[in-house]
Amino acid sequence: MTAQNETIIDLISLIEQRSPVRLIRKASTDGGEYWGNCPWCGGVDRFHVWPHSSSRPHYWCRGCNAKGDAIQLLKDYEGMSFMDACQ
């Protein structure tokens, strides 16, 4: 069995460093759920982040339906290419 190289992304820090959003822990399900204003639509308490999800760290806005992982966040919010976001 070969070990895969995995990079652990701190999705909370990434979101808070790249946008004006400040997230607050609201639940402990699936490793913790955080809420805040959406960086895209600005909706209050619509933006949900699961930074320690068993499947993968991800976010979703219940208002504008923005969703994804760290790479998608950088592509959509920062306008980066896939390759740049991966780096």
Answer whether residue 5 is part of any domain. Answer: no
Answer whether residue 58 is part of any domain. Answer: yes
Which pTM does this prediction carry? 0.85
51 CB-near residues (< 8 Å, 6+ apart): 10, 11, 12, 31, 32, 34, 57
CATH number at residue 75: 3.90.580.10
The pLDDT of residue 31: 81
Answer whether residue 4 is part of any domain. Answer: no
Residue with the two structure tokens 């992304």: 9
Q: Which of 76, 74, 56, 22 is nearest to 85 (CA)?
A: 74
Answer whether residue 14 is part of any domain. Answer: no
Note down pLDDT in tens along the chain; length 87 residues: 444 555 678 999 999 999 999 999 999 877 899 999 999 999 988 999 999 988 889 999 999 999 999 999 999 999 999 999 999
> Which residues form the domain of 54?
25-86
Answer whether residue 2 is part of any domain. Answer: no
